[in-house]
Amino acid sequence: MEITELTVKEIVEKIKKKEIGVKETVLAYLKNIEDKDNNIKAFLSINNEEALIKAEELDKENEKNGQIFGIPVAIKDNINVYGTETTAGSKILKGYISPYDATVVKKIKEQNGIIIGKTNCDEFAMGSSTENSAFFNTKNPVNTDYVPGGSSGGSAASVAANEATAAFGSDTGGSIREPAGFCGIVGLKPTYGRVSRYGLIAFGSSLDVIGPLAKNVEDAAILTNVIAGFDYNDETTADLPVENYTAFLKKSVKGKKLGVIKEINDFKIQREVTITLKEAINKLESEGCEIEEVSIPHLKYALPTYYLIAPSEASSNLSRFDGVRYGLQGCGDNLRDFYEDTRTKGFGREVKRRILIGTFALSEGYFDEYYLKASKVRRLIAMDFKKAFEKVDALILPTTATTAFKFNEKKNPLEMYMSDIFTIPMNLAGIPAISIPFGKDNKGLPIGIQIAGKWFEEGEIFQISYALEQLKES
């Protein structure tokens, strides 16, 4: 087996046994990137020199520890990495060199992971296909005629194409889970507050979460061990102990209660996705899981609720990008014209659309009618999940209603927004959720199954998703 086909756990074990070297591993991935990425276009930048220097250092000091010792990791380009360009997929940040590491990146480095490059993404993480990047489209490695999903499409594609052992992305409304589902890999959205957002370029501050994309559930658990935990730099992180998530993997799921949301039948779902979901449920039931139908009555309001709250927060967050301190600078005879020229040239169409929606929702006379009402409905959705979890341990549902679609297939923004209908509710409620590949459609495109759990109980969803992954392979 080629080095680039190995998992995180396998590579770490082989490096520690000196069966392979860290530099050898990094060179293998850099060769894959050189061979494949002109077509896939997962990366915006490659850290060749820095990665090889770090690899040589680790080869000399093999006694060093680290859960991801020597692992080449890709980072979504809205997460700051010291000394590298960080654009968030936008022209307005072109040329911005990060002066610090995000907390997640700092933790990766402390565990002796190697940052191999920054991955392409929808501009400011706004999108479901990575077609909104200001630079180029990333292709789905499974079939390059199709999108990889978004907004973490570059990160998902890098793992699926074996251009990185693992990657990290951000999830505001499904931006880790959807591309994981489309590309046939594993993607986790942790509980809001489980992982620090310090160093993540904000889109929707009450929704954004950083999480891993990996080849299998075990790797995702290892990566979550690395990045989870309280951070003084982020007051929204929870001061709770971090469990060893790999310890949950081989526990029996017998007696676990899984909820099937009856309201998902109100939405149009691709036939193969429905069949695959039933197969997954039957497999888990055969292992002793108890299946119970539950209700999330306000599920139908999740999409409009999200598309008021997220753009409103984006309108506020993106006001800091004015061309004065960093990034693209426009022209103008006065400050107003300077700002306008910078933002007109720097922001893409989708970003401008969401800023306008958010600014309108927050404006005087409309705040109560739109943003405040959406916030109240968000609370109702969270309460729906709380009631469901009084009956069941976790929920099982599709990651997306369809498999990956072709480029330019969804030109209507509303059609594109519907791609996130089964992922958005978890962000609104703040609960953890994981997507794992389970079957394919008649075109050979992957189908993702989603397991969602209670707040801060990532261990439980790792336990169930690992069992499902083993059942798929049996």
- State the catalytic residues: 76, 151, 175
DSSP 5: G
- Cβ atoms of 350 and 362 within 8 Å: the answer is no
Type of residue at 24: E
Question: Which burial class, exposed, middle or buried, applies to 272 when counting CB atoms under 10 A from its CB (0-12, 13-18, 19+)?
Answer: middle
Longest dimension (CA), the chain: 71
- Look at strands 209-214 and 166-171 and give their pairing: antiparallel
Question: Which burial class, exposed, middle or buried, applies to 322 when counting CB atoms under 10 A from its CB (0-12, 13-18, 19+)?
Answer: buried
Q: Whole-angstrom Cα distance, residue 148 to residue 177?
A: 11
Q: Whole-angstrom Cα distance, residue 446 to residue 437?
A: 6
How far is residue 47 CA from its own chain's centroid? Answer: 21
Q: Whole-angstrom Cα distance, residue 310 to residue 302?
A: 12
DSSP letter string over 196-257? --TTBPPSSTTT-EEEEEESSHHHHHHHHHHHBS-BTTBTTS---PPP-GGGGTTS--TT-E
Q: Whole-angstrom Cα distance, residue 201 to residue 77?
A: 9
How far is residue 94 CA from its own chain's centroid? Answer: 23
**Exposure class string for 212-231: b at 16+ Cβ within 10 A, else e:** bbbbbbbbbbbbbbbbbbeb
List, in order, residues 6 or more apart from 363 with CB less than 8 Å away. Answer: none
Q: Whole-angstrom Cα distance, residue 454 to residue 460?
A: 8
Closest CA to 80 of 159, 170, 180: 170
